[in-house]
Amino acid sequence: MLNKKIEDALNEQINAEMWSAYLYLAMSMYFENEGRSGFANWFRVQFQEEQAHALALIDYVHARNGRAVLSPIAGVPEKWDSARDAFIATLEHEQKVTSMIHNLYAMAEAEKDFATRQKLNTFIAEQVEEEDNVRKIIDDLTLVGTDGTGLFQIDRELASRTFVAPTL
């Protein structure tokens, strides 16, 4: 059985993952409107990944006989100045999520909730991958700057990303 403190923190994390999903869906819609279907696709897959993170936590709370709660999802921005800006906002957001997960891990350790601590290992590894992927895209975008051909190539590359359900 989950203790209340851990249950609340997991529910907070579920809300954060849903907010992330909402943010990336907004980015996907923004790029679709800008006529950049590759970027839109990348963020649409990212949206699906975040939903998978939230679902994995909901399943975990249930598996521990806890009560998962859906609280309201706060609003998200609607536009960004450039593709690079959107990816920088993504990296900053993922860094925040990483620190939330680390805090949760520390709490699980302090509360001697070893099952939650173990569950979070996969999330910690997932965050390393998320941040690394985004950083690489930012590097590419920095390299091409405002060059249309370069941006077109990155857009085409991101168009090929498909959703693979993460094992969490």
- Percent helix, strand and coil across the chain, each rounded to 5? 75, 0, 25
Q: Contact between 117 and Mg ion (CB under 5 A)?
A: no
Judged by CB, which is closer to Mg ion: 126, or 155? 126
CA 93 to chain centroid, in Å, comes to 8
Half-sphere exposure of 28 (CA within 13 A, CB side): 16
Q: Are 121 and 85 in contact (CB under 8 A)?
A: no
User: Minimum distance from CB of 101 to Mg ion (Å)?
Assistant: 9
Q: Contact between 119 and Mg ion (CB under 5 A)?
A: no
Name residues contacting Mg ion, limited to 38-97 (CB under 5 A).
50, 53
Q: How many residues lie near Mg ion (CB under 5 A)?
A: 3
User: Minimum distance from CB of 66 to Mg ion (Å)?
Assistant: 20
Residue nearest to Mg ion (CB): 53
**Beta carbons within 8 Å of 133's beta carbon, 6+ residues apart:** none
Half-sphere exposure of 102 (CA within 13 A, CB side): 8
User: Minimum distance from CB of 49 to Mg ion (Å)?
Assistant: 7
User: Minimum distance from CB of 4 to Mg ion (Å)?
Assistant: 24
Judged by CB, which is closer to Mg ion: 17, or 113? 17
Contact positions toward Mg ion, by CB under 5 A?
17, 50, 53
